[in-house]
Each structure stands twice: as C-alpha cells, then as structure tokens.
Amino acid sequence: MRILVAAVSARALAQSLVAAGHEVVALDCFGDQDLRRLVLGWHRLVVADAAEQLTRLACATGCDGVLWGAPLENVPEALAALDAVGQNLGSTAQAVGRLRDWAALGPQLRQAGLAVPAWRYCPPPPGTAKRWLIKPRASGGGLRVRFWSGKLRDDPRHWYWQEFVPGKPASVLFAVGEGSWQLLWFGRQVIRGGRRQPFLFVGADGPERASAEETADIRRLGELLASVPGLRGLVGVDVIRFRGRLWPVEVNPRWTATVELAERLWGTSLALSPAQATGGERGDGPLWEQVSRCRRVWGKRIVYAERACRLVCGARKAMERQFGSAGATVEFADLPRAGTRFTAGEPIVTLLASGPDRRSLSVAFADAQAWLSAWLDT
C-alpha cells in the first residue's frame, strides 16, 4: 500500500510503515532528515488547513489511505473529511470525538468501575478543596497544562479543568477493533516539571508490571474501548498510578509516542495491524508473558532546547551512529539539518535506548545529552 502519514512529527509512524513494506508520503511539521530518507515525498503540515491538505494530497500522490497521528485528534473536520471519502485508516471522527470529550467519556469511565478525576468545563468556584489543573481542549504532550491559579485571560471555551491526581504518570497502549482489545504496552511516562511547562512529556520507558488491581483497571479500559463504534487500531491512554489504581486522564485514539518502544518489545511493526503482535490473542495475558521473557528495558527521551541554539555542521552525521554507555545503547532519531536554529523550548532530537534496567537507561541518556551539547552553538 501507499499511505499518506500525517502528524506533527511523522518519522516514527513512517518508519513503522516502511518496515512493514509500505510506501509512504509524509505530511509533518519538521521534515527531519531521517524522515525524508524514508519517504517518497515530504510536505509541510499546516494544522489549520489539515482537512483540505489531507484529502488533496492523498488523491494527488496516489495514496490508498491516510494514517494520522497527533494533533489531528483535535481537528475533527479533517477526520470527517477523510471519513467522507473513505480514506481514513484510523479511528472515525465520531469515535475520536466521543473519547476526547470528557462530558461523554467521564461518565463511561466511572460506569466501567474506573477511578476518574473530577472535571469541569467552567472555572472551579473559589475556595474549592480540590487542586485543579487547567488543560487546553486541544491538548497534546502536556503542552500548556498547568495548575489552576484562579486567573484566566483567554476564552474559557478553549479550556477544561481536571482534578489533579498526585501519583506517577504512566501509559497504556491497546490495539482495538471489531469488539476486541489487546494490551501492547504498559510503562512509565517521564514529565519535565519546572515552571515553564510543568507537565510537558519528555519521554517514556518500560515495560512495567501492573499490580492485580491495576491489571483489573487495564481490563476495564480495554472492554470500554472495544465497545466504542468506529474505534480501530492503536489507542493510548495516559493514566496516573495512585493508591493502587489507574486513573485515566487522557485518551489518544491514534499512534502515540510509546508505540515505537512497544514495537521493540514485540519485534514487529504495529502501525496498521497491531493485533498481529499478539498472534491474535485477546486481552492482557500475552503482554505479561512477553514481559516475563524479556530481559531489557526500552526508553525514549525528547531533548528540548534550554536556550536559543544552533546545530553545528557535522552534527547530523555524528548522530547517525549508536551511542553506548552504562551497558545501554542509544540511537538518535528525528535528526534535524545541520545549521538548524532552535528557540528555547523547541525539540531538538529524540533519543531511543535499550538496556538491562532503567538505571542504565538514565545514565546513557544523560551521557548522550552531554555529548549532544557539544554540537550546539549558543
């Protein structure tokens, strides 16, 4: 198949499809060098024009369909346009809308027996006992999520409020379709912290084992997702591990940042036929069997610019190798062109690593970032 891939960063999804034998045309915001080497053609994604771009390019490039990633779950008109012409290889616009609206999703989660944070579509009243987060309705990667201070200078219709759950962030990855579900990944999320972007996603690692009650919550989530009409393929759920339970805080019915780690665990592409990773076996059992057999941990980190800087000449070539440290190996991905300038807060590169344990990954990531800093001219 020839597939149009559309996402803010399309490299990982394109890489998965090419590994499975597909041809890819890419539409994303960066055009990194390792993406361009993979694909038949690259085009810059303009999110505001996504509906027109997707349908036009799919036709113009002779693609058989469109597989999309973040942030298109927040652009319902683009997904509806793909549904209308039969080009959507992901979940339908209706299914996505149902999972991105807490007014619809929250009651379903509670009815399924899950622990769910309180939420609101208007500011909490002064003096409330709960601690609240304010989150963009078109959210992604933790950007612009912050603690609610009681002040809002923007239109409240662009935001919603969610109760803060003080636990450990994690992610659950499912393959969903035809009334069934398979568990593909359960692991830790790494959040940046700090004042500027306190909830910014900067990485993940795993897999991890779940407790008996957490496993029960995973099954509740899987059954609920399998019941949603039009939901198909990969679905990621961001959760907080708190008081022995998994508290869902966001559902992403698309390719997520942890999929390429799950692919390393299963040793296969998960982009189009993720259920095949488990041999068609349903539920969570195959993952726990896979975890018990594996002796490695996989992780990723997104390196953001701490200040304005430029990638010096020769850096990209130097990054096209594996970096070994502390018994772990690190690969560089999402490689920018030499001379690329970054403002503070922009992503520079992604690090992908495997090692015998999480400690080895932490040391290897720190060494790789220190090595990378020598190639940044401030």
DSSP letters along 329-367, please? EEEEESPPPTT-EE-TT-EEEEEEEEESSHHHHHHHHHH
Report percent pLDDT > 70 for the chain: 100
- 336 & 307 share domain: yes
Positive/negative CA dihedral, 125, 126, 130, 135: positive
Look at residue 138 in the predicted model and tell me its pLDDT: 87
- 174 & 242 share domain: yes
Provide the pLDDT confidence category of residue 79 given band limits of 50, 70 and 90.
very high
Report percent pLDDT > 90 for the chain: 82
Provide the pLDDT confidence category of residue 87 given band limits of 50, 70 and 90.
very high
Look at residue 193 in the predicted model and tell me its pLDDT: 82
Q: How many domains does the chain have?
A: 4
Under 8 Å between Cβ of 264 and 207: no
pLDDT average, residue stretch 220-230: 97
pLDDT top residue among 337 and 352: 352
With 90 as the cut, is the pLDDT of residue 279 above it? no
Which residues on neighbouring strands pair with residue 59, listed in sequence order? none
**HSE on the CB side for 157, CA within 13 Å?**
0
With 80 as the cut, is the pLDDT of residue 96 above it? yes
d(CA 10, CA 206): 22
- 106 & 136 share domain: no
Look at residue 314 in the predicted model and tell me its pLDDT: 78
- 97 & 209 share domain: yes
Under 8 Å between Cβ of 209 and 183: no
- 363 & 285 share domain: no
d(CA 217, CA 245): 7
pLDDT average, residue stretch 129-155: 90
Starting at the earlier edge strand, list the strands of the sheet with 309-311.
341-342, 309-311, 376-377
Q: What is the CATH number of the domain that holds 20?
A: 3.40.50.720
- pLDDT tens for 310-330 read 999 877 777 877 777 778 999
What DSSP letter does each residue of 23-86 carry, written as one string? EEEEEESS--HHHHHHSSEEEE--GGGHHHHHHHHHHHTT-SEEEE-TTGGG-HHHHHHHHHTT
The mean pLDDT of the chain is 93
pLDDT average, residue stretch 210-233: 97
Look at residue 349 in the predicted model and tell me its pLDDT: 96
- pLDDT tens for 151-188 read 888 888 899 999 999 999 999 999 999 899 999 999 99
Look at residue 112 in the predicted model and tell me its pLDDT: 97
pLDDT average, residue stretch 113-138: 92
The residue among 266, 294, 322 that closes a domain is 294
Provide the pLDDT confidence category of residue 12 given band limits of 50, 70 and 90.
very high
d(CA 62, CA 364): 43
Look at residue 366 in the predicted model and tell me its pLDDT: 93
- 103 & 208 share domain: yes
With 90 as the cut, is the pLDDT of residue 281 above it? no
Say which range, 76-90, 268-282, 291-305, has the weakest mean pLDDT.
268-282
- 154 & 177 share domain: no
Task: Give the DSSP H or E segment for 158.
Answer: none
Range of the domain at 146: 112-163
With 90 as the cut, is the pLDDT of residue 280 above it? no
pLDDT average, residue stretch 42-69: 95
- 45 & 183 share domain: no
The residue among 294, 323, 351 that closes a domain is 294
- 250 & 316 share domain: no
Under 8 Å between Cβ of 250 and 120: no
The residue among 294, 323, 339 that closes a domain is 294
Minimal CA–CA distance to 367: which of 324, 304, 316?
324
Minimal CA–CA distance to 25: which of 64, 79, 82, 52?
64
